Structure formats: C-alpha cells, structure tokens
Structure 1
Amino acid sequence: MENEKIVRVTIHEGQLPTKEQIREIETASIRPIEPDEDSPVLTDEQYAQMAAIARARRAENNKPVVSLRISPETLRKAKATGKGYTGFLSRLLDNAIDDPAIVKRSL
C-alpha cells in the first residue's frame, strides 16, 4: 500500500475507458481484497442480521404482479416519464382508485 497513489478521473456518460485504464482495472481485479476500518470483514451474525432486514423490507413492499391491457398511447405516455414508469403507473392507480370522481368517470 505504501507505493499506491489515489487518482481522480472524471468520466462522462458514454465515454469508454482508455487502454491504460483497462490495464489498471484488470490489474486491480486480480489483487486480493484487503479489509480495513472502512470496509471490515463482516461476521456471520452481521450477514444474518442484514439478510433479516432485507427479507422484512421485501415483505413490506410485496406487491402482486398483475397483467392488464392498456392502450398503446397510454403505454407510450407512461414510458415517456422515464425509468421506473411501472412504479409511476402503480402510484397513479393508487391515487385514482381513492378518488371517487375518477372512479365514477372511469366506470
């Protein structure tokens, strides 16, 4: 570690690494992982605790998967909102189903 240096590089979207950067990545990928105070080795108990937290979060957010037909125009508009459009549609339906005026107009 004594001969190592920190190098900061700004990478722009779509920019590919240089040949030198690829060599550095390949060299780094074969080096052993050395835990330190910032990234200690986790115990089996810590892994178990994290797994329990992850399971609980998944259970809280467990939404059934459904299939429904929507118009191509509606799908296009939803996709135009960007990544996560299915979550957007889910929230939109949650809000709409709680609004009696929207429900009445949609029946």
Structure 2
Amino acid sequence: MKGVIRLTPIVPGEMQPAVFVDGRIREGFFSGNAAEGRGFPQWALKMFGGDKVHWMRGDVNRKGERHSLCGRVYATDVELFLPGNYSRCKACEKALSVQKRYGASV
C-alpha cells in the first residue's frame, strides 16, 4: 500500500475510498502494510484468501507459521498484513475476551 492515501479514517468492516499511485480514487477494503513479524500478538489479515482479520498468536511453530486464536487461519509473517478496514473474526474476538477476563496470556 505504498503511495496509497486513505481519504477517510479506517473503520473496520466498512469500505473506504483511497487515492492510488496512478491518481485514481478507488473504494474498497484496504489493509495496512506488511506486518513483517512485528508486534505480535495482534490483529492481522492473511494475504491470500483473507476476508477477515484474525488475532494472531505471538508464538511461531516449527514451520515458521503463526496461528490465529480461533484456530482457523495460519500463515507465515510475510503473508500477514496489518488489519486495515476489514471486519474482525467474531470467534477470535470472543476467545480474546474470554482470555482477558480470566487473566490468561495470549
């Protein structure tokens, strides 16, 4: 998303207009830059097949993949992008709230 300028603040689950490098204004769902393994655990969007952002765990398995809290998504750091305005996974939100309520670490 280098050179792309958002015209409105990011609102999860809502399409947003943005000015692209070619000067055209397009509307759609836009994610942030590549997460590059920084700041996990956090919300992240899987590059391929991602229509929702998931809460990705901080630990990495032997293949170098991170798993989502709901267990439905896994990806390497290069396949994860910052969440942008995509809707959040409801199962991850629920699991995260349960963990926070009982003081478990994510």
TM range (shorter): under 0.3
Which structure is larger by alpha-carbon Rg, 1 or 2? 1
Does 1 or 2 have the higher relative contact order (CA < 8 Å, sep 6+)?
Answer: 2
- TM-score after normalising by structure 2: 0.23
- TM-score after normalising by structure 1: 0.23
Q: Which has the higher strand share?
A: 2
Q: Which has the higher helix share?
A: 1
